[in-house]
Amino acid sequence: MNELTERKRGRPAGEELRRRVVAAVLERGMSGNAAARHFEVGEASVRRWIVRYLERGHLRDDPRPGRPSSTEPERERIFRLLEKRPDLSVGALQRALAAEGPVISTASLYRFLKRHSLWRHRRRAARRRNPAPKAGGRG
């Protein structure tokens, strides 16, 4: 494996790699140990992926545990404000939300908007390539 395709030890394998490993074992008859060596993954992982596929019919990861989103309880307020004023910047949205309830950090608000496909990049005004020459100047 080269450094572009090498997976760091302890990192989760992508679904595509899991699919290729399971296909090698179930469709091409490769042994689990041989597949583990060939794809440079652990033998226990190969067994776990095969069981997951046979039991569930898919190879997706289970949801990861973690702290619940701090913005989800505020989702209706956020949606209501954006419905009224879709042109609000993130900063203006944050100030409007803070005026009527708990403060939500800018980072949390960005993540919420991105998660709900509401984030849009604003384009900067295009710079003029050939500005008009100034009176009395060169050019």
Location of structure tokens 């046979």: 54
**Residues 6 or more apart in contact with residue 90 via CB below 8 angstroms:** 106, 109, 110, 113
pLDDT of residue 5: 44
Asked if 46 contacts 23 with a C-beta cutoff of 8 angstroms, the reply is: no
CA nearest to 35, candidates 45, 49, 21: 21
DSSP per-residue string spanning 43-74: HHHHHHHHHHHHHHS--PPPPPP-PPPSSGGG
Give me the residue spans of the domains in the chain: 15-56, 72-115
pTM score over 0.75: no
E strand intervals along the chain: none
As separate numbers, helices (DSSP H) first and strands (DSSP E) second, the chain gives 6, 0
pLDDT of residue 73: 77
Terminal-to-terminal C-alpha distance of the chain: 57
Q: Using CA atoms, how far apart are residues 120 and 53, in angstroms rounded to an integer?
A: 37
pLDDT of residue 4: 36
pLDDT of residue 2: 40
The pLDDT tens digits for 108-135 are 898 888 888 887 665 555 566 666 666 6
- Retrieve residue 68's tokens: 């619940």
List, for the chain, all residue ranges whose pLDDT scores fall below the cut of 50: 1-5
